[in-house]
A = this chain, B = another copy of it.
C-alpha cells in the first residue's frame, strides 16, 4: 500500500498551482466556466476538472444559470488552512535558536 487519494483533501486541493490560480480568478466575483476558460487560457475540460476538485472540498460552489454554470469561491472553506498556519505565527518574529529547548532536549536524551 502506498498512497491515499489526496484530491479530496482541502490542503491538497489548494496545493495544485493551477488550482490556486483558478481560485484567485474567482476572488470577489462569480464567473461562468467559459469566462474562466478565457481568463486562464486553459482547455475547457481542464478547467472543469479542476473546478470539480475544488467543489468537492468546498472551496468553490456552483449554481446553474441556464446552460451555464456560475462558480464562486466559498471563502470560509479556507479557514482551516489559515488556522493551521496561524499556529506558527508566534514564532515568526525571532528565528531564535532557542537554546533552552535545545538544552532540554539534550538533557532528555541523556536520561533515556
A→B interface (CB under 8 Å): 6, 9, 11-12, 14-17, 20, 24, 27-32, 35, 65, 68, 70, 72-76, 78-79, 81-82, 84-92, 95, 98, 101-102, 104-106, 108-109
5 new A-B pairs (CB below 8 Å) besides A29-B105, A30-B102, A76-B95?
A: A14-B15, A27-B87, A27-B88, A29-B98, A73-B88
A11-B20 in contact (CB<8A): yes
- Residues in B neighbouring A12, C-beta threshold 8 A: 15
Partner of A75, one of B27, B73, B95: B95
Across-interface contacts of A24 in B (CB, < 8 A): 87
How many copies the complex holds: the figure is: 2
**What are 27 of the A-B contact pairs (CB < 8 Å)?**
A6-B16, A9-B17, A11-B11, A27-B87, A28-B91, A29-B104, A30-B98, A30-B105, A31-B105, A35-B109, A65-B106, A68-B109, A72-B98, A73-B88, A73-B91, A74-B95, A75-B88, A75-B89, A75-B95, A76-B95, A78-B85, A78-B88, A79-B92, A81-B85, A82-B82, A82-B86, A82-B89
